[in-house]
Structures are given as C-alpha cells and as structure tokens.
Amino acid sequence: METLDFEWPDGDFASNYGALEFPASDGPRVGPAAEGASPLAERADLLAEQADQRTGESTLPLLRLSGWEPNKQYDKNNPECIHYDFRWKISQRENIRARHVCSDTDLDLVLAPSDFWRANFQARLEALLKDEQKFPGDKYACEETIIDISIERSRQRGLKKRFKDLEIDWNIVDSHMESLSGLFSKRKKITFSMEFIFKEVISDSAMTKGKKKKQSATEAQKLQRAADAGLWTRVYKHHRCRGKHCRQGPHCWTDERGNHHRLLPRHLEEIVHHIKGSMKEGEKEEGIDIDIEMPPKILQDVLDDSRKRKAESSIDCRQCKVQVLAHSRHRDAAETTLDGDLGNVKGDRKDKLEEYCTWTLQQVESDRWREALQAANRFAMITTSKSFSKRQRSLKY
C-alpha cells in the first residue's frame, strides 16, 4: 500500500484566508470522491462571486444621469454598465379588488431606476392619468406602489417592496440594482417591475349629487311602474264583459250587432301597447282616453280567433248529432228486437251489449259527448235488463 504525502499550508494561510484560491474546473480529479464534492464546488463559486463583489473586480457600474448619453447605443453583449428590462402596470382599485388598466415593457434600459423615473417615466405616468378612456373620473390618487426586482433563473437576490403613494425610497432600489452587477456579468437577465394602484377620489358634493341622481332615477321607475299598472287596470276594467249570459270569457269585444267576441290576454296587451304608442308628447297615462276604436290589426286577430272557435264548435255539434241519431236508431232497433224475437246470439247478451257500449265510447274524443254516450249506454243497459226480466217471466209461465 502506497503512502500518501499531505502538503499542509504554511503559516501565512491563517492570515490570508480571505483570498482563497480554488482549483480550476478543468483540473484533474481523483477517484469517485470528487463526484460527491459538487456542493462544495457550488459553494466555492458563490464565495468567489462574493469575493469579486467585495474587491470590486469584474463589476459593472449602475449608470447615472450625469454619465448618460441619450444618443449613444449601449451594447448589451459588450456592456459598459448594468442593463435591465423595465415592466410597469397600472391598476385601479374598485371596492376590494384592483382592476387592470394598462401595462407595458421597456426593454434594455441602462439608466439607474431613480434617474429613469425622474427623466422619463414620471411624466409618462402623469400623461396616462389624463387619458379619459382609461381614467374617466375627475381625479385619481395613487394608493400604493409595488416594486419587484427579479433575476432570471435565480430565486435569490430578488427584491420586493411596497411604498405608500408614490413615496419610493430610490436609494434602496438603486443600491440593490447595483449589487446585481456580478450576476449581470454572468449573463443573468434582470427585470425591474413597478405596479401603481390608483383609486378615484370622490368629493362629498359629488357623492351627494350621485345619491340624488340615483334616488331620482329610482323614483322615476316607481312612478312609471305605477302609471303602467294604472293603465293596465283601466284597460282590463273597460273590456270586462258585463253580459249575464255571455260564455265567451271575462273580457269581450261587442260588435255592431251585439255579438260578443272573446278577448285573450295577448289582445289586451296589444291594446295597451297601442294606447301607449299613440300618446302625445307631454301627455300622461292617467289622462289617456282608453275608450278608443279597436285597431284594425287587433280587430282582425280577434275575429279570426272567434271564427276558429265557431268552426271547431260546429264540427263537434255535427259529430254529436250523428252520434245521437246513431244511438237512437240502435235503441229503437234494440227495443224492437227485444220485444220481438231475440234470435240466436252466441254468448251472454249483456256482455255483448257492454262490449258495444265500450266501442261507442272509443269513437268519440270530446269529453262532453263522451259523458252523453255514457248516459245513453246506462239507459240501454237498464232497458235491456228489464226486457230480459220480462222475457224470463213470460217463459217461466
């Protein structure tokens, strides 16, 4: 077994521990133990990054307004300062939730956030507040400003702060942005976000005025409903049938000959709409004369419905007469047969008669005539039963 020689660091190691030198990543690795040392290597990279930031090596500055050249093209691939993307969003708070109004993104900015705010975005924000399409109210006030700084593919070193109104502590924002120089040098994308939450300012006079308007609108709706109800009541009462022997319905229209024609609810509704449509400007529904001549279109509809009902009634009457005549003929024939020779009938005569009565009921659809047939069938059954009894007594003696 070979003997391993360890080279211990000299005495200067204790005093120079702040500047550790780690082996390069492409150096030789010994055995599988080196594979398990990956967390140690990550820790070493983090310490090296922190050491670079402390010593100021390989750091890029945060460009201030004094050194900024507006017409210069700052190359992100060959940077001279920190670059970042700026995202902004404006919301309006309504009751509890905030409604999104507008948002946008400014890409590849180099000017420090505080200087960019004063030189550019503050004026843009004031101009947006004057846009009546986005902010239709008279006056708006910023309730809260939310700032968020995030780094691409990194959960650390971010910043999220809330400020009241527009009172932003730009020293905190600029200092944190400047501390991200090392990450930007490693091609990490930095995003600076701002969200402004506004709320409409309503004065006491405006609130009182709005309440009065709301109350007046409500009162107008109530008055309109009352007027409509009064007009409906008058129309219903005017067309209510007062004939003692009228069977058309509760509401009728009487023609020149005194004939009653039924008015359905849809007819009354059309009459009300016609009266309201004929109102003159400034005329109120309380003073409208509802005793008007029936409009031709509505009258034609009423007469058509009346003719249809009469036609259906006449068909039912003809069917009724046919059925009654048929039953009278059958009754006469039955009485004649019973008084004379009954002939040879297979089976029970009463059962046959019941079958016939059932068949006659199946030939009609009207309930009114079905009741009449049932009465006739009962009469036939009683008559037949009496005839059978007389026949039995005569045969017995």
- Domain boundaries along the sequence of the chain: 65-201, 207-294, 327-396
Q: What is the pLDDT of residue 139?
A: 81
The two tokens of residue 53 are: 């930031």
The two tokens of residue 241 are: 């049938």
Q: Please give the C-alpha separations between residue 208 and each of 95, 138, 213, 215, 222, in angstroms, as whole numbers.
A: 19, 15, 9, 11, 21
DSSP 8-state symbol, 19? G
Distance in angstroms (rounded) separating the CA atoms of residues 338 and 328? 15
* Residues 131, 132, 135, 141, CA torsion sign: positive
The pTM score is 0.41
Q: What is the pLDDT of residues 382-394, one digit of tens each?
A: 877 777 666 666 6
Q: Which residue type, as a one-letter code, is found at position 237?
A: K
Backbone angles phi, psi at 252, to 5 degrees: -140, 160
Neighbours of 62 (CB within 10 A): 20
Q: What is the pLDDT of residues 329-369, one digit of tens each?
A: 555 555 554 444 555 656 677 777 777 787 877 777 777 77
Q: Please give the C-alpha separations between residue 270 and each of 247, 254, 267, 275, 292, in angstroms, as whole numbers.
A: 23, 17, 5, 9, 13
Which run of H or of E encompasses 161?
strand 154-164
Q: What is the pLDDT of residue 170?
A: 94
Q: What is the pLDDT of residue 61?
A: 92
3-state secondary structure of 277: helix
Alpha helix positions (H), the chain: 38-55, 113-116, 122-129, 170-179, 181-185, 204-238, 265-277, 296-339, 349-362, 367-396
Q: What is the pLDDT of residues 199-220, one digit of tens each?
A: 888 765 555 555 544 556 676 6
pLDDT at residue 64 above 90? yes
Q: Going by C-beta distance under 8 Å and a sequence separation of 6 or more, which residues neighbour residue 223?
A: none
Chain mean pLDDT for the chain: 75
Choose from 225-229, 248-252, 285-289, 322-326 the range with maximum mean pLDDT: 248-252
Q: What is the pLDDT of residue 27?
A: 44
Percent of the chain scoring above 70 in pLDDT: 68
* Residues 377, 380, 385, 386, CA torsion sign: positive
The two tokens of residue 16 are: 């120079």
Q: What is the pLDDT of residues 27-57, one digit of tens each?
A: 444 444 444 445 555 555 555 555 444 444 4
Which run of H or of E encompasses 201?
none
The two tokens of residue 55 are: 């010593």
Distance in angstroms (rounded) separating the CA atoms of residues 112 and 149? 13
Q: What is the pLDDT of residue 355?
A: 78
Backbone angles phi, psi at 89, to 5 degrees: -150, 140
Q: Is the distance from CB of 388 to CB of 349 less than 8 angstroms?
A: yes
The two tokens of residue 389 are: 């009894």
Q: Which of 352, 62, 299, 272 is nearest to 182 (CA)?
A: 62
